[in-house]
Amino acid sequence: MKCVNIFFPTSNKSILSGNSEGLIFIEQYASKVTYYTSQYGSINGVSYTANNLMGPPSRYPAYGDFPETYVPRTYGPWWKETLVISPSKGKTEVLITGQDFVDILFQKPVYPYCVNVYETYNSGCVRRLWAGDGQGNWKLFHENHMKKSLKHSQIFSSEPHHLQFLTSIIRVEIDSSLADYYPEIDAVLLVGTETYPPFEESLKLCVTGLSTKIIGLGLHRLVPGFNAIESIQRLCFKYQVPAQSSTICHLSKLPEEILRIILSFLDLHSLCSLACVSTSFNKICKDSVLFTSVNLKPYWYCVNLSSLEWLTVRCQCLQYLDMSWCGNYGKLSSTDFSWFIKQFGKRLRILRLENCTFLNNEVLYWISTCCPCLQELNLRGCRDLESNAFWHLGKLHMMERLILDNTQIELPTLLVSLQSMTSLSHLSLGTSFVVHEIVRWLNRHRPGIISLDLWRNGHLSNHGMEVLVGLGNLRELDIGWCGLPPNGNWISLLANRCRSLEKLFLTAARTAKDTDLIAIAQFCPNLKQLDLLGNSYITSEGCCRQLQLLDVSYCCQIDAGHVSNWRRTYPHVSIKRIFINEED
Amino acid sequence: MHSVYGRLLSRSIISGLYNCSSSNNSSGSSRTSVGNSSNETVSIKSKPKLVSAVAGFPKSFRSGKVHKGQIGDDAWLMKNIDSADILAVADGVGGWRDYGVDPSDFSLSLMRSIERITTVSSPCNFRNPVDLLSAAFRELLHSKRPITGSSTACILILEHESNNLFTVNIGDSGFLVVRKGRVVHKSEEQQHYFNTPFQLALPPPGHHGSALSDSPQSASQSQFAVQDGDVILLATDGVFDNVPTPILVAELSKLGGVKDQLCVQQTANSIALMARNLSFDGRYMSPFSQRARDYGIRAIGGKPDDITVLLATVAI
């Protein structure tokens, strides 16, 4: 397979050879993965898990689907459209975060110069690279504009530049929203120096590098007498004094209500900048009405106690709070957050705390005590929470959407907590425990449940399937990687009883047959997403009118020819089939 | 036949075939690598303590595959990691061929699974090799491509620190450890009925009820110390069913603690060839026929089967 190398070794060699006094570049592969938001593989496995990022690349430059890589749990737009998450009412943030990140520890702390990410499938998913010192301080090292994923393996290489920040951890922020299918990463390489070169040295390096590139591209011939180094130096030191402006502000003549409506469209960053303009603006920008929904996820790298203190003046009417990714590595403590929630939780309806490591027993106690109106609680990826912390959730009677993917919650605790949630309609449990117990309970006590995510939850027995098909109101069901019982027509029965299904994931169910697909096509006209990865017994299938996503990877009786035919016949359906590497 | 043999020979001569360190590092002279065991300039791995070789023949040259790690329906693994040396074999149960399943798929996937686990989870618990076997078996379920079939398995792990050999065996593959001309350890065969060994299985969906499937917990484990000069033979039943144990012991004693790679390879080759010739001898009272008679079956001759021989001398 063709391999495109964005990192230019030749130009770097010339830089290095020219400046070899005292500047030693150290290359390191990952020694440990300290944190990851999600992974496709199972927790104790070695396929498609975050630990595969350790060490040198195993499969690069090959291109294809390999279990020796790291794969995040989701891709594309499909998971944003699920019913589990409340429809978004927050302000549109300008800074868009990726869906996942991985924190990678390197053995020797260095001043970073360049980071290479080896991608082996659906390349081009790296959005940002952050350099961290391990104490919770982060600096943005590289930002990338997202484009469609590439169909060849590549080394994603950040622009070489020196960062004066001793780094031991690199956070790779992954944005797979434009990816065609699951992106896969093989390894990460950090190039850095032990000592930070003096300013002139690094400037000389950058300038020499730039001028080599310009000369390489032949641009210097465009302008006769062009001297690259001089021009660049002049550019670097150009300085413009802003023009003086008048002190009359016409905007402040507008009535406050209209101003508030205009300002309600601003993101948090702009709102803060606006507050610095004048005292009248400062007053308006503190209005609680503008802060009914607060999303701190794009600012995860600088959220700490003072951020919460800043919010206290503004958050009297807080209804939606998203603090996912914030406060890790000791930036925020459980006491700080508990203090905040005690004051401002009473009107809170939606609380998202994905991948927050400061959560503990105390915090959950205060959340459940002080947020009686809570309708959506997202604790995805909070693996450090002990199981008994979840006991407190039982006080949240108004809960409708509960997301506990990738946490350590255990069955008895879960059952107790769910007991009082009478309006529960969406439940997401991507962890592994006895699944048919949960399903049996849901059948008896919450038969109206609308969406259920039991991905990788363990084996479904005949009894488990029996009670599962009884949940007739299901619109979304994910039973991927749960082993289905080998005998019986459970999938047909499921289609028959749950006719409102819009999303059905039967990944690696292994028992799906053509008759099941015919049943699905017949009984589920609203089906939009269908995942049939790894089922070897299906050969043909009916296509539902509303179908948007169909995944037939690793179904060995459906070959590339079939798939290209279908893509032509049904252009509105995204048909996914993993590119099969000829080597395997 | 010659060309295949020659290829086997040349393949088998390369030791440390599963040295998974890749050479992807750029070779710029002004760069150094830290903390990677794959760099040529920094050597962190401890020296392997086994001088090992592999040899074998598939049952049928026409249909049996011979690749790295695979001989017919058998699969093998030789691997050195920081703290241990690992030898393993798996014998794919050929009966699945009648059901449209390739028997070599399961055994090869199992061996590859063991290799991946020992690479990635470095503080691997070798003191309980059953855990390694269970983890490798579970990993097969996590493969996106459906894997079906069954096989036996036998894993030997020599831990460098303690010089102990940890073993786990399920089925009728086995090992033999010879010291100064005498057998000091021999594995026990596990069989349900005649010619039906214990086996790890992933039956295809239609056959769950009817197929034999044993849990990794039913494997037998053992642990013992080894000394410098011990000779370890790990083989599938193609060897033990055709070559009587005294002859194997004699061959291994001839090796007598020599740590030369070529000598070990030669002995492995001769054992494999012996097994091969005897298996096709129609009038020889093989151990297989002997046992068949014990079960009341009038059998004679060798048992044609895939032959896989892993031979190693301990060099502490």
- Judged by CB atoms closer than 8 Å, whether chains meet at A534 and B142 is answered as no
At A246-264, the pLDDT tens digits run 556 677 778 888 888 888 8
Give the total residue count for chain B: 316
For chain B, the straight-line distance linking the first and the last C-alpha, in angstroms and rounded, comes to 38
3-state DSSP assignment of residue A126: strand
pLDDT average, residue stretch A226-242: 54
Domain ranges of chain A: 2-8+24-195, 293-536
Contact (CB, 8 A) for A305 and A276: no
Over 90: is that where the pLDDT of A351 sits?
A: yes
Locate B192 and state its tokens. 């349900």
Question: Residue A577: exposed, middle, or buried by beta-carbon count in 10 A (0-12, 13-18, 19+)?
Answer: buried
Q: What is the DSSP letter of A469?
A: T
Taking residue A108's Cβ as centre, other Cβ atoms within 10 Å add up to 13
- Judged by CB atoms closer than 8 Å, whether chains meet at B142 and A65 is answered as no
Contacts of B28 in chain A (CB under 8 A): 9, 12-13, 16
Reported confidence tier of residue A128, pLDDT bands at 50, 70, 90: very high
Single-letter amino acid code for the residue at A531: D
Architecture of domain A2-8+24-195: Sandwich (2.60)
- Distance (Å, whole) CA B218 – CA B156: 17
Over 50: is that where the pLDDT of A15 sits?
A: no
Locate A280 and state its tokens. 């009248």
Taking residue A512's Cβ as centre, other Cβ atoms within 10 Å add up to 24
CA distance A468 to chain B (A): 20
User: Which is more confident, A48 or A514?
Assistant: A48
- Judged by CB atoms closer than 8 Å, whether chains meet at B34 and A20 is answered as no
Contacts of A54 in chain B (CB under 8 A): 120
The DSSP-derived string for A4-58 is EE-S-HHHHHHHHHHT-SS--EEEEE--EEEEES--SS-TT-SSS-GGGGSSS-S
At A367-421, the pLDDT tens digits run 999 999 999 999 999 988 888 888 899 899 999 999 998 888 888 888 888 888 8
Q: Considering only CA atoms, which of A182, A187, A189, A190 is closest in space to residue A38? A: A182
**Torsion over CA: A343, A87, A453, B146 (sign):** negative
Contacts of A493 (CB under 8 A, 6+ apart): A465, A469
Locate A207 and state its tokens. 């300038």
Taking residue A470's Cβ as centre, other Cβ atoms within 10 Å add up to 16
Instruction: Show the DSSP H helices in A253-400 as ranges.
Output: 256-263, 268-275, 279-285, 305-312, 334-344, 361-370
Contact (CB, 8 A) for A464 and A438: no
B133 alpha carbon, distance to own chain's centre: 13
* Number of domains making up chain B: 1
For chain A, the straight-line distance linking the first and the last C-alpha, in angstroms and rounded, comes to 14
Single-letter amino acid code for the residue at B112: R
Is residue A10 within 8 angstroms of chain B, CB to CB?
A: no
Single-letter amino acid code for the residue at B204: P
At B205-250, the pLDDT tens digits run 777 777 888 999 999 999 999 998 899 999 999 999 999 999 999 9
Over 80: is that where the pLDDT of A148 sits?
A: yes
- Distance (Å, whole) CA A449 – CA A472: 8
Question: Residue A469: exposed, middle, or buried by beta-carbon count in 10 A (0-12, 13-18, 19+)?
Answer: buried
At A177-226, the pLDDT tens digits run 888 889 999 999 999 988 887 765 667 677 777 777 777 777 666 666 55
- Distance (Å, whole) CA B305 – CA B280: 9
- Distance (Å, whole) CA A109 – CA A94: 32
pLDDT average, residue stretch A21-41: 87
Pairing, β A350-352 against β A320-322: parallel
Block residue for tokens 């940002």:
A128
For position B22, which CATH number holds? Answer: 3.60.40.10
Where does residue A48 fall: left (phi above 0), alpha (psi -120 to 50 degrees), or beta otherwise?
Answer: left
CA distance A503 to chain B (A): 20
- Report angle CA A175, A177, A181 to the nearest 5 degrees: 100
Size of interface A-B (CB pairs under 8 A): 109
Contact (CB, 8 A) for A391 and A416: yes
Q: What average pLDDT is seen over chain A?
A: 82
Owning domain of residue B90: 2-315
At A438-473, the pLDDT tens digits run 888 898 898 889 999 998 888 888 888 888 989 989
**Searching chain A, which residue's CA lies closest to the CA of residue B105?**
A584
- Distance (Å, whole) CA A69 – CA A183: 10
The DSSP-derived string for A137-168 is -EEEEEE----PPBSSEEEEEPPP----S-EE
A5 forms beta bridges with A155
Q: What are phi and psi of B196, to 5 degrees?
A: -130, 90
Contact (CB, 8 A) for A311 and A291: yes
With a pLDDT cut of 70, the percent of chain B lying above it is 84
pTM assigned to the model:
0.81
As for the ipTM of the complex, it is 0.77
At A272-325, the pLDDT tens digits run 888 888 888 888 888 888 888 898 998 899 898 988 888 888 888 899 999 999
- Distance (Å, whole) CA A560 – CA B59: 34
Reported confidence tier of residue A570, pLDDT bands at 50, 70, 90: confident
- Judged by CB atoms closer than 8 Å, whether chains meet at B31 and A65 is answered as no
- Distance (Å, whole) CA A171 – CA A134: 11
How far, CA to CA in Å, does A89 sit from each of A96, B219, B223? 16, 57, 63
- Report angle CA A32, A34, A40 to the nearest 5 degrees: 95
Single-letter amino acid code for the residue at B311: L
Q: Considering only CA atoms, which of A427, A433, A426, A356 is closest in space to residue A387? A: A433
Pairing, β A126-132 against β A167-174: antiparallel
Q: Which of B145, B147, B148, B202 to mutate to test the interface with A (most CBs of A within 10 A)?
A: B145
Question: What is the pLDDT at residue A108?
Answer: 92
How is domain A293-536 classified at the CATH fold level? 3.80.10
CA distance B133 to chain A (A): 13
Q: Considering only CA atoms, which of A518, A501, A520 is closest in space to residue A450? A: A501
Contact (CB, 8 A) for B311 and B231: yes
Is residue B182 within 8 angstroms of chain A, CB to CB?
A: no
- Distance (Å, whole) CA A120 – CA A3: 10
User: Which is more confident, A270 or B19?
Assistant: A270
Contacts of B141 in chain A (CB under 8 A): 483
Least confident of A239-253, A323-337, A355-369, B262-276: A239-253
Below-70 pLDDT ranges, chain B: 1-46, 122-125
Taking residue A430's Cβ as centre, other Cβ atoms within 10 Å add up to 21
Taking residue A288's Cβ as centre, other Cβ atoms within 10 Å add up to 13
**Torsion over CA: A18, A20, A23, A28 (sign):** positive
User: Which is more confident, A521 or B59?
Assistant: B59
**Torsion over CA: B270, B272, B275, B276 (sign):** negative
- Distance (Å, whole) CA A252 – CA A229: 48
Single-letter amino acid code for the residue at A533: L
- Distance (Å, whole) CA B68 – CA B77: 9
Contact (CB, 8 A) for A548 and A528: yes
With a pLDDT cut of 70, the percent of chain A lying above it is 85
Question: What is the pLDDT at residue A171?
Answer: 95
Q: Which of A27, A462, A554 to mutate to test the interface with B (most CBs of B within 10 A)?
A: A27
- Judged by CB atoms closer than 8 Å, whether chains meet at A17 and B209 is answered as no
Contact (CB, 8 A) for A60 and A186: yes
Residues of chain A by 3-state class (helix, strand, coil), percent to 5: 30, 20, 50
Question: Residue B223: exposed, middle, or buried by beta-carbon count in 10 A (0-12, 13-18, 19+)?
Answer: middle
Question: What is the pLDDT at residue B19?
Answer: 24
Q: Which of B36, B109, B115 to mutate to test the interface with A (most CBs of A within 10 A)?
A: B36
With a pLDDT cut of 90, the percent of chain A lying above it is 30
The DSSP-derived string for A233-248 is HHHHT---PPPP--S-
Give the total residue count for chain A: 584
